[in-house]
Structure 1
């Protein structure tokens, strides 16, 4: 559908009826007799954009007096997102904010970010965590789940309960279909697996991918402009977005083998197809990011680049007798930082912040002192 996309004059009648039903369901849920806020997970991709679009439309359709419940449109920035996707999300967020102010809608546009001590570079370069892979995907929880979950918990604590709207669809994949099926209970809202006081609402769960693209290509966003920039982003990348992740059950969506917009540093995937697609589409300035990411993946399991002790001082041997090395050596951490700073210079992009560099160096000093203490405790010749 995407490659051959040509915007029709109007929605297909069958799709129009389905969308009308979704609009009615959104309206009915919003007008329920309580004040629990809505939180819309917005990754900037097609599905979350559609949900945000329909929620915006629904609020505009209501009389001002009926717009009683706050709506939070929440994105997550891991600080290592694909630069083109970051720029697109920022543009759309600015358009949403301007429209919400103009129409006096109860909408807050929010971006969550990892704790300063839990960023990708602080963990990778500072603490020496090996590049993430499928068996040790430390990034998802620290950079995605925790920041957004923290925001949801804050809103739930303040209001008693929140309703989280997610753009998940049964049609996305077999894995997603299985995940959706686990929560099919015949009701509109489901309890969130991990977040107390959070109900989950999946308004577009039964739409197909073609349905989503037809709608976005036909109907202009209520915050102004068109969805053409989003459509072009997908065409250039040949990919899809890593969705807003709020539980470990959703984590497989982050770092899969499909072409997804996500962290450009992601070493869970074998190849970053979306960033490669951007480069092939003419964004050659991002080619060094691909080279760095590939190098980072290549050094992960080099025993000469890993310390023997883990961060807690232990040596780890599995039940099968396999020795598991610890974090990257100090030499490798320094080399990674040097390469990141070089990357920053050659691309003109902010890759690592000054605060992150300072935190990295502080952790190095602490780790070096701890390593010296362990060696002294072990004694000479150990």
Structure 2
């Protein structure tokens, strides 16, 4: 007896979730199913999804929807693109709780992807070192993005630019023909705010159709565009695995840590725990989290709420919150600002006006951040010891807290900051960033900003009026820039190999730079940075050498040693910045100077804003006129060069003189005069060489010792002279003969007077003194030849 074979398929929550949602009567269930099916259909159509993932609730829902669609395709055996990816930006200054939670999620997502073999990649973006918050703010390059700032520099540099670079790098490995199929999956929602709704509308955002902004090739999809906060929490609180209370399968056990974080940083409750009468559209669990130093929205309410809600759990972040509060509260405290500008006006002045943070203030900020890093290490060690001794419960939370939850300043950051401070002569001495590091880690001298707890917000006041300091220019030979004497002293060593470059300065002087490496971007070698901070700096410090160096020494030292690499093709810019720092140092306006310090300095020309405007307007007009004049000169030079090429071409082809235009005749005459002088120079050279050889023959040198005969050289010159004369034409050939005759007559005149020192050639002088008869006969014979040739032109 034969039985038909029965195929048995094991099913789990990933096969049954749609039915589970229907049975559970989840309020957002139908919308979620529709969203997943739409993503699934686009996957079947060959689309590649890029999910911009922050780890927050909205992007978490989008990730959940995408995973459901991918798992559906996987279980059905559908052929879809293997290139979809999750893009996360780590700004390196995120709220530590948010950063830890997101990192934990991404780790579990990686494991889930591997175990289920789904076609999804994870791409982590980070700002470059030069774009980091530390380099921008602590390095003295700029200010934070404050409330009501039109352009959010930090958002662009820390997030957008970083994400774009990571995206470009990832898709460079995808066939270009598929780039058009990439769809950006975004978690923005209309109900977040009026501004967000307007932004989505501006970009034609849709939850059902793929749309793109005008003149943009990237398609977008907003799958939860119409969802409320309540819908988001409804989805997340019903999502998870390995629990009978979880209806929607997920890569996570549950989302309770996300719920807890939002609850603790919001108003203390979430929609998940609210009564039905509050409705879908209301939620008290919608706090926003961002960078811990962000002042774009004023005070960091979500961080402050965490500290107030559960100080025992979140108290380890109290110190770093002081940094944010200090920045926020002192926005209008002009004493915290640096007043020395870095741009020369048309009139040759720099502005003295509060701008970026003051050198002493950024040094305090750096000291505080390193101190909080150090204290976090000590806190983690204390928890680890308590775990080891059994003094606290050995659970997942305490295990996590037995490790440092943040380190915002690394050795690479220290080297990067020091490079800017050194280059711009920003601090009073070089190596100050390293010194601050060791004040904390070696001497345990901490800056905890305790005063911030009682600090009042500085009232808004107008920015003080600008003054202007006469500088003229700094990119000149008066300053050495990145020139390095150490390279000069080894330049002739047998094994010397240099990466030096030649830089032409604004005054056309030249700087031979120190040796350095070039890469695509400003970079610091990690191992080199650790060696410099922990070894070389300590050696210099203990030897008492730190006070021996100029401001730019540490920058050049890091370049020479290969610790620091500059962006390719930017050496002239960095050399100019080094010269600026040296100029400021020479003027004694470098380092932590106040306006009072600078005004007290003698021999500085400082004027008011009104006077400067008049001078600058005049200088600007002069410069504009000079640009116009230079342009005209350049245009005329192009015309002249073209004319000279045309005439040279006609001469080489033997074009008749009457075929030349008036302008070409002028150029022709100029070229012929130059050619006449060239022929005369060749004749004089031939005479000198002939005299040298004749002197040697007469003295018997050729017979007595090895001698390099000059005859071949003379014959070659004779041939070249003959060809040149042929190109000149009759008139200019006669000019050559006449000037040659005059030259020979001048030699005879010197000879007759006996003024042998007046000869411009030692060989002629020697022949005239040692063999006067031969000299005179040679000169008369040459004159006779010139006369004979000139006579031929008369017949």
TM-score higher than 0.5 here? Answer: yes
Instruction: Calculate the TM-score normalised by the size of structure 1.
Output: 0.83
Structure 2: runs of 5 or more not aligned: 1-20, 241-248, 268-285, 378-405, 426-577, 590-601, 606-795
Structure 1, 98-107 or 326-335: larger mean CA deviation: 326-335
Alpha-carbon spacing, 1:294–1:31, altered in 2? closer, same or farther (3 Å): same
CA contact (8 A) 2:49 2:185 kept: yes
Q: Secondary structure at the match of 2:219?
A: strand
Q: 1:76-95 alignment to 2 at 5 Å?
A: 76-95=89-108
Correspondence for 2:583:
373
Q: Deviations over 1:331-382 (max 9, x none)?
A: 2222221122122222333121211111000100111152442575899313
1:54 counterpart = 2:69: no
Correspondence for 1:37:
48
Rounded to whole Å, the distance in 2 between the matches of 1:210 and 1:367 is: 52
Alpha-carbon spacing, 1:193–1:380, altered in 2? closer, same or farther (3 Å): farther
1:9 to partner: Cα distance:
11
Alpha-carbon spacing, 1:73–1:111, altered in 2? closer, same or farther (3 Å): same
Correspondence for 1:271:
299
Alpha-carbon spacing, 1:339–1:185, altered in 2? closer, same or farther (3 Å): closer
Q: Secondary structure at the match of 1:184?
A: coil
Match of 1:297 among 314, 328, 335: 328
Q: Deviations over 1:14-58 (max 9, x none)?
A: 5222212111111111111x4x52110111111100110111111
Correspondence for 2:88:
75
1:178 counterpart = 2:198: yes
Q: Secondary structure at the match of 2:28?
A: helix
Compute the RMSD of aligned alpha carbons. Answer: 2.8
Correspondence for 1:96:
109
Rounded to whole Å, the distance in 1 between the matches of 2:299 and 2:23 is: 38
More helix per residue: 1 or 2? 2
Correspondence for 1:213:
233
Rounded to whole Å, the distance in 2 between the matches of 1:313 and 1:303 is: 22
Rounded to whole Å, the distance in 2 between the matches of 1:54 and 1:311 is: 51
1:193 to partner: Cα distance:
6.6
Q: Deviations over 1:144-198 (max 9, x none)?
A: 110112223344554423211011111111111111222337771122578x532
Q: Deviations over 1:73-122 (max 9, x none)?
A: 11111100000111101111011111111111111112111011111011
Runs of 4+ in 1 over 4 A off after TM superposition: 8-11, 374-379
Alpha-carbon spacing, 1:193–1:142, altered in 2? closer, same or farther (3 Å): farther
Correspondence for 1:225:
253
Q: 1:109-128 alignment to 2 at 5 Å?
A: 109-128=122-141
Alpha-carbon spacing, 1:190–1:314, altered in 2? closer, same or farther (3 Å): farther
Match of 2:367 among 338, 350, 368: 338
Q: Deviations over 1:207-249 (max 9, x none)?
A: 111111111111225213111111111111118xxxxxxxxxx
Structure 1, 207-216 or 153-162: larger mean CA deviation: 153-162
Q: Which has the larger radius of gyration?
A: 2
Rounded to whole Å, the distance in 1 between the matches of 2:345 and 2:234 is: 56
Q: Secondary structure at the match of 1:189?
A: coil
Q: Secondary structure at the match of 1:38?
A: strand
1:361 counterpart = 2:410: no
Number of residue pairs aligned between Structure 1 and Structure 2: 348
Correspondence for 1:189:
210
Alpha-carbon spacing, 1:9–1:290, altered in 2? closer, same or farther (3 Å): farther
Rounded to whole Å, the distance in 1 between the matches of 2:373 and 2:422 is: 24
CA contact (8 A) 1:238 1:277 kept: yes
1:199 counterpart = 2:219: yes
Structure 1, 229-238 or 77-86: larger mean CA deviation: 229-238
Q: Secondary structure at the match of 1:26?
A: helix
Q: Secondary structure at the match of 1:205?
A: coil
Correspondence for 2:154:
139
Structure 1: runs of 5 or more not aligned: 1-7, 240-257, 316-321
Rounded to whole Å, the distance in 2 between the matches of 1:290 and 1:86 is: 15
Instruction: Calculate the TM-score normalised by the size of structure 2.
Output: 0.41
